[in-house]
Amino acid sequence: MSNPFKQRLQRDETVVVVNPDHPSAALTEFLGRLGIDGVFIDCEHGTASIQTVQDMCRAARAAGLQSIVRPEANLDHLLTRYLDAGAGGLIIPHVDTAESAAGIVAAVRRARPLNHQDTVVIAMIESLEAVDNLDEIVAVEGIDVFFMGPNDLSHSMGLNGQTHHPDVRALVLSCAARIRAAGKVPGTLVTRDTVAAFISGGCRFLYEHANNFLITGASDFRQTMKESLK
Protein backbone atom coordinates (compact mmCIF):
# COMPACT_ATOMS: atom_id res chain seq x y z
CA MET A 1 0.00 0.00 0.00
CA SER A 2 1.35 3.42 -0.97
CA ASN A 3 -1.43 5.77 0.18
CA PRO A 4 -0.06 8.10 2.90
CA PHE A 5 -3.59 9.05 3.99
CA LYS A 6 -4.44 5.44 4.75
CA GLN A 7 -1.07 4.90 6.39
CA ARG A 8 -1.76 7.77 8.79
CA LEU A 9 -5.10 6.24 9.76
CA GLN A 10 -3.42 2.90 10.39
CA ARG A 11 -0.94 4.67 12.69
CA ASP A 12 -3.88 6.06 14.69
CA GLU A 13 -3.18 9.61 13.55
CA THR A 14 -5.94 12.12 12.93
CA VAL A 15 -6.84 13.27 9.43
CA VAL A 16 -8.96 16.32 8.61
CA VAL A 17 -11.23 16.27 5.57
CA VAL A 18 -13.13 19.37 4.47
CA ASN A 19 -16.21 19.63 2.28
CA PRO A 20 -15.68 22.64 -0.04
CA ASP A 21 -19.49 23.07 0.01
CA HIS A 22 -19.30 24.54 -3.50
CA PRO A 23 -18.55 22.42 -6.59
CA SER A 24 -15.31 24.19 -7.53
CA ALA A 25 -11.95 22.84 -8.61
CA ALA A 26 -10.33 26.19 -7.78
CA LEU A 27 -11.67 26.11 -4.20
CA THR A 28 -10.58 22.49 -3.87
CA GLU A 29 -7.05 23.42 -4.86
CA PHE A 30 -7.05 26.40 -2.48
CA LEU A 31 -7.99 24.16 0.44
CA GLY A 32 -4.69 22.40 -0.08
CA ARG A 33 -2.96 25.51 1.27
CA LEU A 34 -4.76 25.30 4.61
CA GLY A 35 -3.00 22.30 6.09
CA ILE A 36 -5.88 19.84 5.74
CA ASP A 37 -5.55 16.28 4.54
CA GLY A 38 -8.42 15.70 2.15
CA VAL A 39 -11.55 16.98 0.45
CA PHE A 40 -15.03 15.51 0.73
CA ILE A 41 -16.85 15.83 -2.60
CA ASP A 42 -20.55 15.37 -1.95
CA CYS A 43 -22.79 13.95 -4.67
CA GLU A 44 -25.52 12.73 -2.32
CA HIS A 45 -26.24 16.41 -1.65
CA GLY A 46 -25.29 19.43 -3.72
CA THR A 47 -25.04 20.00 -7.46
CA ALA A 48 -21.70 18.56 -8.56
CA SER A 49 -21.79 16.94 -12.00
CA ILE A 50 -19.56 14.02 -12.94
CA GLN A 51 -17.35 16.41 -14.91
CA THR A 52 -17.05 18.72 -11.91
CA VAL A 53 -16.18 15.76 -9.70
CA GLN A 54 -13.43 14.79 -12.12
CA ASP A 55 -12.07 18.35 -12.11
CA MET A 56 -12.19 18.53 -8.29
CA CYS A 57 -10.40 15.18 -7.95
CA ARG A 58 -7.73 16.41 -10.34
CA ALA A 59 -7.37 19.64 -8.35
CA ALA A 60 -7.08 17.64 -5.14
CA ARG A 61 -4.25 15.57 -6.58
CA ALA A 62 -2.47 18.73 -7.71
CA ALA A 63 -2.79 20.16 -4.21
CA GLY A 64 -1.60 16.97 -2.51
CA LEU A 65 -5.01 16.22 -0.98
CA GLN A 66 -6.89 12.95 -0.67
CA SER A 67 -10.14 13.13 -2.65
CA ILE A 68 -13.13 11.31 -1.16
CA VAL A 69 -16.43 11.24 -3.03
CA ARG A 70 -19.81 10.48 -1.52
CA PRO A 71 -22.01 8.94 -4.25
CA GLU A 72 -25.75 9.45 -4.42
CA ALA A 73 -26.37 5.92 -3.17
CA ASN A 74 -24.68 2.62 -2.51
CA LEU A 75 -24.92 1.32 -6.06
CA ASP A 76 -22.07 -0.53 -7.71
CA HIS A 77 -22.20 1.44 -10.95
CA LEU A 78 -21.97 4.76 -9.05
CA LEU A 79 -18.97 3.57 -7.03
CA THR A 80 -17.23 2.53 -10.24
CA ARG A 81 -18.16 5.76 -12.02
CA TYR A 82 -16.64 8.00 -9.35
CA LEU A 83 -13.51 5.89 -9.13
CA ASP A 84 -13.21 6.18 -12.89
CA ALA A 85 -13.57 9.97 -12.49
CA GLY A 86 -10.46 9.99 -10.30
CA ALA A 87 -11.76 9.64 -6.76
CA GLY A 88 -9.08 8.46 -4.39
CA GLY A 89 -11.70 7.25 -1.97
CA LEU A 90 -15.41 6.71 -1.43
CA ILE A 91 -17.62 7.44 1.55
CA ILE A 92 -20.77 5.37 1.17
CA PRO A 93 -24.05 6.53 2.75
CA HIS A 94 -26.50 4.38 4.71
CA VAL A 95 -24.50 1.24 5.39
CA ASP A 96 -26.95 -0.54 7.68
CA THR A 97 -25.79 -4.15 7.53
CA ALA A 98 -22.66 -6.25 7.27
CA GLU A 99 -23.93 -7.52 3.92
CA SER A 100 -24.05 -3.96 2.62
CA ALA A 101 -20.53 -3.29 3.90
CA ALA A 102 -19.20 -6.44 2.28
CA GLY A 103 -20.85 -5.47 -0.98
CA ILE A 104 -18.99 -2.15 -0.99
CA VAL A 105 -15.65 -3.87 -0.52
CA ALA A 106 -16.45 -6.29 -3.33
CA ALA A 107 -17.52 -3.47 -5.67
CA VAL A 108 -14.33 -1.49 -5.06
CA ARG A 109 -12.18 -4.57 -5.66
CA ARG A 110 -13.97 -5.30 -8.91
CA ALA A 111 -13.52 -1.68 -10.03
CA ARG A 112 -9.87 -1.53 -8.95
CA PRO A 113 -8.54 -5.11 -9.06
CA LEU A 114 -4.87 -4.08 -9.09
CA ASN A 115 -4.79 -1.20 -6.61
CA HIS A 116 -7.90 -1.41 -4.45
CA GLN A 117 -5.66 -1.35 -1.39
CA ASP A 118 -4.83 2.30 -2.13
CA THR A 119 -8.49 3.34 -2.34
CA VAL A 120 -9.93 4.83 0.86
CA VAL A 121 -13.20 3.07 1.69
CA ILE A 122 -15.51 4.60 4.29
CA ALA A 123 -18.84 3.24 5.51
CA MET A 124 -21.39 5.67 6.95
CA ILE A 125 -23.28 4.61 10.08
CA GLU A 126 -26.43 6.72 9.90
CA SER A 127 -29.35 4.84 11.48
CA LEU A 128 -30.31 2.98 14.62
CA GLU A 129 -30.40 -0.16 12.49
CA ALA A 130 -26.74 0.38 11.64
CA VAL A 131 -25.95 1.01 15.32
CA ASP A 132 -27.66 -2.27 16.26
CA ASN A 133 -25.61 -4.07 13.59
CA LEU A 134 -22.39 -2.18 14.26
CA ASP A 135 -20.37 -5.09 15.67
CA GLU A 136 -21.07 -7.15 12.54
CA ILE A 137 -20.44 -4.20 10.21
CA VAL A 138 -17.03 -3.35 11.69
CA ALA A 139 -16.00 -7.00 11.39
CA VAL A 140 -16.03 -6.62 7.60
CA GLU A 141 -12.46 -6.37 6.32
CA GLY A 142 -11.50 -3.85 3.66
CA ILE A 143 -13.18 -0.76 5.13
CA ASP A 144 -10.82 1.93 6.38
CA VAL A 145 -13.16 4.17 8.38
CA PHE A 146 -16.57 3.79 9.97
CA PHE A 147 -18.14 7.22 9.94
CA MET A 148 -21.05 8.20 12.20
CA GLY A 149 -23.31 10.64 10.37
CA PRO A 150 -24.94 12.71 13.15
CA ASN A 151 -27.55 14.38 10.97
CA ASP A 152 -29.19 11.18 9.75
CA LEU A 153 -28.65 9.57 13.15
CA SER A 154 -30.60 12.43 14.71
CA HIS A 155 -33.52 11.73 12.38
CA SER A 156 -33.37 8.02 13.17
CA MET A 157 -33.47 8.90 16.88
CA GLY A 158 -36.51 11.17 16.47
CA LEU A 159 -34.37 14.29 17.03
CA ASN A 160 -34.78 15.58 13.50
CA GLY A 161 -31.80 17.69 12.45
CA GLN A 162 -30.49 18.18 16.00
CA THR A 163 -26.99 17.18 15.00
CA HIS A 164 -25.39 18.45 18.20
CA HIS A 165 -28.04 17.18 20.63
CA PRO A 166 -26.39 15.60 23.71
CA ASP A 167 -28.08 12.25 23.00
CA VAL A 168 -26.76 12.26 19.43
CA ARG A 169 -23.25 13.12 20.61
CA ALA A 170 -23.42 10.39 23.25
CA LEU A 171 -24.45 7.82 20.65
CA VAL A 172 -21.63 8.87 18.30
CA LEU A 173 -19.09 8.56 21.11
CA SER A 174 -20.51 5.19 22.14
CA CYS A 175 -20.19 3.93 18.57
CA ALA A 176 -16.65 5.31 18.35
CA ALA A 177 -15.70 3.32 21.44
CA ARG A 178 -17.13 0.13 19.94
CA ILE A 179 -15.31 0.71 16.66
CA ARG A 180 -11.99 1.29 18.40
CA ALA A 181 -12.52 -1.77 20.58
CA ALA A 182 -12.76 -3.75 17.34
CA GLY A 183 -9.41 -2.31 16.21
CA LYS A 184 -10.98 -0.13 13.51
CA VAL A 185 -11.03 3.62 12.80
CA PRO A 186 -14.04 5.80 13.71
CA GLY A 187 -14.86 9.17 12.23
CA THR A 188 -17.52 11.83 12.43
CA LEU A 189 -18.54 15.40 11.69
CA VAL A 190 -16.82 17.99 13.88
CA THR A 191 -16.84 21.73 14.46
CA ARG A 192 -14.43 24.03 16.25
CA ASP A 193 -16.52 23.57 19.39
CA THR A 194 -16.72 19.76 19.26
CA VAL A 195 -13.45 18.62 17.72
CA ALA A 196 -11.58 18.18 21.02
CA ALA A 197 -14.32 15.99 22.49
CA PHE A 198 -14.47 13.74 19.46
CA ILE A 199 -10.69 13.36 19.29
CA SER A 200 -10.71 12.45 22.97
CA GLY A 201 -13.49 9.99 22.19
CA GLY A 202 -11.29 8.19 19.68
CA CYS A 203 -12.38 9.64 16.34
CA ARG A 204 -9.50 9.92 13.91
CA PHE A 205 -11.30 10.86 10.66
CA LEU A 206 -12.55 14.39 11.24
CA TYR A 207 -14.96 16.01 8.80
CA GLU A 208 -15.78 19.74 8.62
CA HIS A 209 -17.37 22.19 6.15
CA ALA A 210 -15.62 25.07 4.41
CA ASN A 211 -18.76 27.15 4.91
CA ASN A 212 -18.18 26.96 8.66
CA PHE A 213 -14.69 28.38 8.16
CA LEU A 214 -16.22 31.25 6.18
CA ILE A 215 -18.87 31.87 8.83
CA THR A 216 -16.31 31.87 11.63
CA GLY A 217 -13.91 34.10 9.73
CA ALA A 218 -16.65 36.58 8.84
CA SER A 219 -17.89 36.64 12.42
CA ASP A 220 -14.40 37.28 13.79
CA PHE A 221 -13.88 40.04 11.21
CA ARG A 222 -17.13 41.78 12.12
CA GLN A 223 -16.30 41.55 15.82
CA THR A 224 -12.88 43.09 15.20
CA MET A 225 -14.54 45.92 13.27
CA LYS A 226 -16.98 46.59 16.10
CA GLU A 227 -14.19 46.68 18.68
CA SER A 228 -12.15 49.07 16.54
CA LEU A 229 -15.10 51.50 16.36
CA LYS A 230 -15.61 51.72 20.12
Active site residue 77: no
Could you tell me if 134 and 153 are in contact, meaning their C-beta atoms sit under 8 angstroms apart? Answer: no
Phi first, then psi, for residue 36 (nearest 5°) are -90, 175
Cα dist from 197 to 40, 92, 168, whole Å: 22, 25, 13
Catalytic residue among 22, 45, 77, 164: 45
User: Which positions are annotated as active-site residues?
Assistant: 45
